[in-house]
A and B are shown apart, each in its own frame.
Chain A
Amino acid sequence: MSMPIDSLTARIEGIAFWSNGLPSWADAQAFVASGALPENAATKPSPQLLPPNERRRAPESVAVALDVALAACAMANRDPATLPSVFASTHGDLSITDYMCATLADDPRAISPTKFHNSVHNAAAGYWTIGAGCMRAATAISAYDASFAEGLIDALAQLADGAESVLLVGYDTGATGPLRSVHACTGLLGGALVLTRSDANASGPRLVASLGDGEASAHGPLGRHAGGNAMAPMLPVFDALAAHAPRVALHAGPGRALTLAFAYD
């Protein structure tokens, strides 16, 4: 039997963030440093990749995912069309699930075709590849409260499998309608990383990941700020990167943790 190799490495070339009150990574970093919230923060993400008419109509999940995806690529100075991508979301878009279920219960033949194709879990990935003109692989996953950790595992595995650089996006929406009785999920949250092979000519924090039994790190300032969202289990990573912490553990399934060690140049 081959020896288990439980660690994977990358450079984090791009980081992006959007939550209610903290609509950029710069705002998130300032908040972690000083506790200050920006004044007049944008209340909605504005995904510049979409044409203006689609930008207004885009589902919230798509808007936040595309906003952070583009910002992470810009920081990494990578052309979005060149990157394979991993879109991780716990629930997809809960307001569209609410619409689909309510319409089926009321009048199934009234379902909107656009809402239906927006209901697929890979809607954000689809709009991203269309908007970016990206023909590379895109995947959309869920692993419930381990979604971001599993997305990160797949992104690192793609680097190990030959990709030079991979875009990872985590996002979730708040629950609407009767779904609130099963998902106590509030606010809108998105985070994105551009991860690049550690042997490539790249800058940014170095990351070494290992998977094992364990528990997630406690929430920091961002976790306390946006902890009501289903993608909150990703927040320890963004808190750690903002504070230049050397180590953090992410929830990676029942009793499992993905431990990340960071080195900052």
Chain B
Amino acid sequence: MLSATTRVSQVTPLAITAYTATTALGHGRDAQYAALRARRSGLRRNDFGEGTVAAAALETWIGRVEGVEDLRLPDSLADIDCRNNRLAWLALQQDGVFEATQALRARYGAERVAIAIGTSTSSIGCSEEAYTRFERDADDALVFPADLRRPLLHTPHSLGHFLQRATGLRGPCVTVATACSSSAKVFAQAARTIRAGLADAALVGGVDTLCGSVLFGFNALGLVSERPCLPFDARRDGLSLGEAGGYAILERIDDADDARIGLRLCGYGESSDAHHMSTPHPEGLGARNAMEEAIARAGIAPSDVGYLNLHGTATPANDTVEALAVAGLFADHPTLHASSTKGWTGHTLGAAGIVESVFALLALEHGLLPGMLGSEQRDPACGPQIRFDNAEGEIRYAMNNSFGFGGNNCSLVFGRV
């Protein structure tokens, strides 16, 4: 097949005028930065769930966000209250992002601002709960309890719908659900929408909350570790699951009122492994294609990349294959600093793309290049690019990799001017 670089040409970068993340490390950007710098993990012993999910007591560590249970949504959104939407709202209130959406509305008009939001399970936690307390209707059929008989909570677009109502934005509004690449792909989706003239700006991001489906689903696949995850460590034996929410705002550079922070979305690359539903391509071909395409769209060389946030789930297969792809693409760039931050946050699934894009943007803004937490014994597949220690240094370009089930890959290149 053709290599990725022959297919795409350089694109005009977009300005990133606001960005935020809320994870087990805390609410908002400063909390992420402080924990990354202090090498303080947000993982804790699994204390998630109720009923059968709690009783089955999965032995693992999780990245759970504090304060979601106590949060109250505005009355205008009370009819779509659920744990995922609470986290969506909590994350939206950080770092001025909600206010920025309202400024976009005023500046461009509500119908000219798109929403592209990623999630893997959206508010399926509500559907899971409904199955634990059925009612019976007049015909004796099992039905959802009255308080959960709200169709828009039991469908993937629950999240996009929530944000549409919470922000009042009326442009194209899409929930992207490609498992763990979801909230990286939203950057590509929104960039295309803006470039095609269908919107002037976009709110992108992702929100995923812990739920029984992912805890016991990944457990069924034998991919959950009983210990805090150890990305790229020879002893790694699986992932730690987490939850998170985060957002960024994209605008054309010439239009952006607030390009002062000088952050850019420079390139995006998407590919498929065409290999297996839950196992990556053995040579990392899909991963490499996505990275090459992102670098080609950014119009840079691999040696220009200063930091690469790896997908790095700490499953045996993912990290070996990703290490191979990185060693191949960056063979002439041994000083690249590449790391997985899953030891801080856990694998936040459909939110991993935005969380780790925020970490890449923090690296650009503050020169903090995170290493890895917990990992000590390098896997033999790791090239010199893969780093366990934090480092500091001014960089111009940072990348993020996000790979999902179905062999669905996305890489992003961010820059600073």
Q: Which residues of A contact B (CB under 8 A)?
A: 1-2, 4-6, 8, 81, 84, 90-92, 97, 100-102, 104-109, 111-113, 116-123, 125-127, 129-130, 132-144, 146-147, 150, 153-154, 156-158, 160-162, 177-183, 211-213, 252-256
Contacts and interface: CB of A to CB of B under 8 A. Distances in A.
Contact of B175 (A4, A104, A142): A142
A254 B171 CA distance: 10
A8 B131 contact: no
B270 A137 contact: yes
B220 A116 contact: yes
A91 B277 contact: no
Contacts of B270: 84, 137-139
B337 to A, nearest CB: 27
Residue from B127, B132, B219 whose CB has the most chain A CB atoms within 10 Å: B127
A59 B155 CA distance: 18
A247 to B, nearest CB: 19
Contacts of B111: 212-213, 256
Contacts of B407: 126, 129-130
A224 B128 CA distance: 33
Contacts of B380: none
A251 to B, nearest CB: 12
A108 B212 contact: yes
Nearest to A213: B111
Interface in B178-218: 178-179, 185, 188-189, 192-193, 195-198, 200, 212-213, 215-218
A122 B272 CA distance: 11
B130 A143 contact: no
A121 B156 contact: yes
Nearest to B281: A135
A158 B193 CA distance: 9
14 contacts: A8-B197, A107-B56, A108-B52, A109-B56, A111-B216, A113-B220, A117-B278, A130-B406, A138-B406, A139-B189, A141-B175, A141-B176, A147-B157, A157-B192
B21 to A, nearest CB: 23
B70 interface: no
Interface residues of B, number: 87
A77 B115 CA distance: 34
Interface of B: 1, 7-9, 11, 51-53, 56, 58, 108, 111-112, 120, 124, 127-128, 130-132, 134, 137, 141-144, 148-152, 154-157, 160-161, 164, 170, 172-179, 185, 188-189, 192-193, 195-198, 200, 212-213, 215-222, 252, 254-255, 270-278, 285-286, 289, 404-408
Given A105-B132, A136-B272, A157 B156 contact: no
Nearest to B218: A116
Contact of B178 (A109, A140, A178, A212): A140
B354 to A, nearest CB: 16
A142 B137 contact: no
Contacts of B200: 1-2, 4
Given A8-B198, A154-B193, A105 B152 contact: no
Nearest to A3: B197
Contacts of B112: 4
B178 A139 contact: yes
B178 A122 contact: yes
Q: Which 6 A-B pairs have the closest CB atoms?
A: A126-B406, A5-B197, A121-B177, A137-B270, A116-B217, A181-B143
A125 B277 contact: no
Contacts of B212: 104, 108
A254 B110 CA distance: 12
A120 to B, nearest CB: 5
A142 B154 CA distance: 12
A73 to B, nearest CB: 15
A120 B405 contact: yes
